[in-house]
Amino acid sequence: MKKTLLQIFISLSLLFVTSSFVMHEYYVSITNIFVNKESNQLEIEIKIDADDLEKVLKMNNQSINIEEITERTKLDIEHYLNNKFSVWTNGSKKQIEIIGTELKLEGDFVCYVLVDAPTVLNSIKIKNELLLPTFLQQHNIVNLKVKQKTQSHTFIHQHTLYTFKIDAK
């Protein structure tokens, strides 16, 4: 009897411990894009779960510690972003420039990006494959603010391209 109770206790303990480390409940990144008409730039803030980003970069054979942002880490993140996040304005692909990074206390890694924009902006096309396909449950929400209007789109696995139309008024 004692042996059976001990086996049940060990089995339940192992199940509890391993299930808490396997995955968390949700996979979401939030990207906010603000169109700055004065500077003709897109100001972009990308929030990603820091642990998930670190896992993906390590899976790509990049030795990284998200808590210590070195120049090498910044280059690895910039390379990853340029491969998984792209911006086109009026049909022309733009270069992404990381101007800063920050690790928030709640576990988000925030990347601040600038993209040059034309004076007359008709459309912004986004490719957002951040953390996809590593996490198939991943949802990448993009909020675009132009003047006082906000448009949003959610990118998911196999649906990673979307074009925001800009109202010229």
Q: What is the pLDDT of residues 15-39, one digit of tens each?
A: 544 444 445 577 899 999 999 999 9
Amino acid 127 reads K
Give backbone dihedrals phi and psi of 63, rounded to 5 degrees, phi first.
-75, 115
The predicted model scores a pTM of 0.81
**Distance separating the N- and C-terminal Cα atoms of the chain:** 78
Q: What is the pLDDT of residues 136-169, one digit of tens each?
A: 899 999 999 998 899 999 999 899 999 999 986 6
